[in-house]
Amino acid sequence: MTRSSFLNGQTALVSLGASVPGIFARGVVAASNEGSAPNKTLVILQLAGGVDGLNTVVPHKDPAYRDARPQMALAEQSLLPVNDRAAFHPALSKFKDLFDSGKVAIVEGVGYPNPTFSHFKAMDIWQAADPQGSLENGWLGRYFDGLTDLQGHPLAGASVGSRLPKAFYADNATVAAIANEQTFGLQPAFGANDNADRTASLLKMYDLYRPANMPYAALLDTTLDNAQTASAHLQKAAAAYKPAVQYPQTPLASGFRILAELIDSSVPETGLRVGQVTVPGFDTHTNQPSRLEALLTDTSNALSAFWADIVGHGQADDVLVLAWSEFGRRVKENAQQGTDHGSAGLMFLLGGQVKGGFYGAPPSLHDLDDGNLRFTTDFRSVYATVLERWLGAPSDAILGKRFDQLDFLPT
């Protein structure tokens, strides 16, 4: 069902006088996900733009790597080797500490059949979990649509950023987009004495806007109502939360910090099930060496601070981070110190329950598909594993069919 047909359905309900605040959330009745582990949180880290997997987890012993990258192959002595085959980019020293502690699983050769090289289409495919590109909702939206206990928990899903990622598009459930913690709430009139009256009147207006033939009445009322509740929960969480570490001063680290607040178990109403932070800019067609170094440094440091904070709050066993990017990059470097869009790439997972190491299979540098790596592992296998073993949700219903699971999480 499309979003608009869903809303039309709601308008019909409203005209029958059934409108109440929160109607969208209350309308969720599917029982398929009963038994979901309630205290588990999944954090999605989107590395947007297409990460160059080969210069991130480097196949440094393979001569084909240096042949393909005469200008941009990383110097052997700068690399951070993790085994006799793979080494990390030098900017990933903190990430390597996490890996060495056994809490990071790296999945190599991730992709899907007939890959697209368009950012737009590839992101849609990953977020809808649908290589045909026909689904309008997202894989996490479908997960939320199956939950029965969202009422009163508008921050069960929260994405940091002003636009909601397609992965969270749902037919019924609403997921909050938090652009900025400071502005996530109704601003009072400066110096005024009647702000409480003004806000009460505002909310009442939305409540009143629901007799027959009032377009979008339920959507507007529910959006403001959920936003107000979410803002109150976020403020309460922020007041109760004491970071265990000093976060770096970057947008990504601030985003992780907001999610850490929502995960903090001392404020039970928030109940974050799935959160997302995004780091943009991995589309390194030009000047890749300096840009990739800055991006990986930010990612590694912010993730490391977040994880130390989670560990400091005793929540390591309840949090799982899943990182993805819409594609890897071309094996051969281009003439402008960069790499063009490719196909198979990397995912990684971090968590107290994660069995660290390498999963999937490293793609061959010798058997390429028109200059691109051939994928060895369908990204939906990773999603299926996380849905079944972490979120306790039926992966075949959410992904449309059954995929082999990987063993980075215990069954």
Told to check if 214 binds another protein by CB under 8 A, we report yes
With a CB cutoff of 8 Å and minimum separation 6, the contacts of 354 are 103, 104, 105, 320, 408, 409
Binding flag, residue 350, another protein (CB under 8 A): no
Q: In this chain, which stretch among 22-30, 117-125, 295-303, 403-411 interacts with another protein, using CB under 8 A?
A: 117-125
Q: Single out the residue of 79, 224, 238, 397 in contact with another protein (rule: CB under 8 A).
A: 224
Binding flag, residue 361, another protein (CB under 8 A): no
Is 27 an interacting residue with respect to another protein (CB under 8 A)? no
73 belongs to the binding site for another protein (CB under 8 A):
no
| Cα–Cα distance measured from residue 387 to residue 169, given in angstroms and rounded to the nearest whole number | 17
Q: Which residue number, 114 or 249, has a Cβ lying nearer to another protein? A: 114
Which one of the spans 106-114, 200-208, 327-335, 387-395 is the region binding another protein (CB under 8 A)? 200-208
Q: Interacting stretch for another protein, rule CB under 8 A, among 81-89, 103-111, 201-209, 351-359?
A: 201-209
Nearer of residues 4 and 83 to another protein, judged by Cβ: 4
Paired strand residues for 350: 104, 321
Interface with another protein, residue 402, by CB under 8 A: no
Among 28, 45, 74, 217, contact with another protein (rule: CB under 8 A): 217
Q: Give the C-alpha distances (Å, rounded to integers) separating 227 from 224, 230, 304.
A: 5, 5, 30
What is the 3-state secondary structure of the chain?
CCHHHHHHHHHHHHHCCCCCCCHHHHCCCCCCCCCCCCCCEEEEEEECCCCCHHHCEECCCCHHHHHHCCCCCCCHHHCEECCCCCEECHHHHHHHHHHHCCCEEEEEEEECCCCCCCHHHHHHHHHHCCCCCCCCCCHHHHHHHCCCCCCCCCCCEEEECCCCCHHHCCCCCCCEEECCHHHCCCCCCCCCCCHHHHHHHHHHHHHHCCCCCCCCHHHHHHHHHHHHHHHHHHHHHHHHCCCCCCCCCCHHHHHHHHHHHHHCCCCCCCCCCEEEEEECCCCCCCCHHHHHHHHHHHHHHHHHHHHHHHHHCCCHHHEEEEEECCCCECCCCCCCCCCCECCCEEEEEEECCCCCEEEECCCCCCCCECCECCCCEEHHHHHHHHHHHCCCCCHHHHHCCCCCCCCCCCC
Q: Does 290 bind another protein (CB under 8 A)?
A: no
What is the smallest separation between the CB atom of 175 and another protein, expressed in angstroms? Answer: 8
Min separation Cβ 305 and another protein, Å: 24
Choose between 165 and 356: whose C-beta lies nearer to another protein.
Answer: 165
Report if residue 13 touches another protein, rule: CB under 8 A. Answer: no
Residue whose token pair is 């790499």: 339
Neighbours of 294 (CB within 10 A): 12
Q: Does 12 bind another protein (CB under 8 A)?
A: no
Nearer to another protein, 293 or 340 (CB): 340
If one asks whether residue 31 binds another protein (CB under 8 A), the answer comes out as no
Q: Does 179 bind another protein (CB under 8 A)?
A: yes
Binding mask 303-342 for another protein (x = CB under 8 A): ----------------------------------------
Per-residue binding letters, 228-267, with another protein (x by CB under 8 A): --xx------------------------------------
Segment 143-172, which members bind another protein (CB under 8 A)?
154, 162-164
| Residue 184 binds another protein (CB under 8 A) | yes
- In the bound state with another protein, the residue whose beta carbon lies nearer, of 1 and 31, is 1
Q: Does 132 bind another protein (CB under 8 A)?
A: no
**Residue numbers of the site for another protein (CB under 8 A)?**
3-4, 7, 118-120, 154, 162-164, 174, 176-180, 183-190, 192-194, 197-198, 200-202, 204-206, 208-209, 211-217, 219-221, 223-224, 226-227, 230-231
